[in-house]
Chain A
Amino acid sequence: MKLEKKKKPAPAISTSSLPDIVFMLLFFFMVTTVMRQTDLKVKVVVPQATEIQKLEKKSLVSYIYIGSPTESFRAKFGTAPRIQLNDAFASPNQVVEFIEKERAARAEAEVPLMTTSIKADKEAKMGIVTDVKQELRKCNALKLNYSSSKRAEVYN
Chain B
Amino acid sequence: MRRNRTTPEVNAGSMADIAFLLLIFFLVTTTIDTDRGISIRLPPMPEENQPENDIRIKERNVMKVLVNANDQLLVNGELLNVKDLKRRTKEFIDNPRRDPNLSESPTKAVISLKNDRGTSYNIYITVHNELKAAYNELRDAKAKADFGKPFEKLNEAQQNIIKDYYRQVISEAEPENVGGA
The residues in B between 98 and 155 inclusive whose CB is less than 8 angstroms from any CB of A are 115-122, 124-126, 128-130, 132-133, 136
Q: Please, which residues of chain B bring their CB within 8 A of the CB of A47?
A: 121-122, 125-126
- Output the nearest chain B residue to A124 by Cβ-Cβ distance: B121
| Complex Cα gap A46–B44 (Å) | 26
Contact partner, A155, options B15, B44, B82, Cβ 8 Å: B82
| Complex Cα gap A49–B83 (Å) | 13
Do residues B39 and A126 form an inter-chain contact, with CB atoms below 8 A? Answer: no
Contact with B along A21-64 (1 / 0, CB 8 A): 01101100110110000000000001111111111001001000
Binds B, one of A86-94, A104-112, A145-153: A145-153
Contact with A along B34-45 (1 / 0, CB 8 A): 111111111111
Interface size in chain A (residues, C-beta < 8 A): 54
Q: Does B175 contact A (CB under 8 A)?
A: yes
- Output the nearest chain A residue to B45 by Cβ-Cβ distance: A137
Do residues B36 and A150 form an inter-chain contact, with CB atoms below 8 A? Answer: yes
Across chains A and B, the number of contacting residue pairs, with CB separation under 8 Å, is 151
Q: Please, which residues of chain A bring their CB within 8 A of the CB of B43?
A: 137, 142
Asked, given contacts A143-B41, A145-B39, whether A51 binds B133 with beta carbons under 8 Å apart, the answer is yes
Contact partner, A144, options B41, B86, B87, Cβ 8 Å: B41
The residues in A between 113 and 156 inclusive whose CB is less than 8 angstroms from any CB of B are 115, 117, 120-127, 129-130, 133, 136-138, 140-150, 154-156
Do residues B35 and A15 form an inter-chain contact, with CB atoms below 8 A? Answer: no
Q: Does A10 contact B (CB under 8 A)?
A: no
Min CB gap A65→B, angstroms: 12
| Complex Cα gap A29–B31 (Å) | 11
Q: Does B165 contact A (CB under 8 A)?
A: no
Min CB gap A124→B, angstroms: 4
Q: Please, which residues of chain A bring their CB within 8 A of the CB of B119?
A: 125-126
Q: Please, which residues of chain A bring their CB within 8 A of the CB of B6?
A: none
Asked, given contacts A19-B15, A25-B23, A126-B118, whether A156 binds B87 with beta carbons under 8 Å apart, the answer is yes
Q: Does A12 contact B (CB under 8 A)?
A: no
Q: Please, which residues of chain B bring their CB within 8 A of the CB of A52?
A: 36-38
Asked, given contacts A140-B44, A156-B86, whether A148 binds B125 with beta carbons under 8 Å apart, the answer is yes
Q: Does B157 contact A (CB under 8 A)?
A: no
Do residues A126 and B116 form an inter-chain contact, with CB atoms below 8 A? Answer: yes
Asked, given contacts A137-B42, A138-B45, whether A49 binds B129 with beta carbons under 8 Å apart, the answer is yes
- Which B residues lie at the A interface, using CB under 8 A? 12, 15-16, 19-20, 22-23, 26-27, 29-30, 32, 34-45, 82-87, 115-122, 124-126, 128-130, 132-133, 136, 174-175, 177
- Which A residues lie at the B interface, using CB under 8 A? 15, 18-19, 22-23, 25-26, 29-30, 32-33, 46-55, 58, 61, 66, 115, 117, 120-127, 129-130, 133, 136-138, 140-150, 154-156
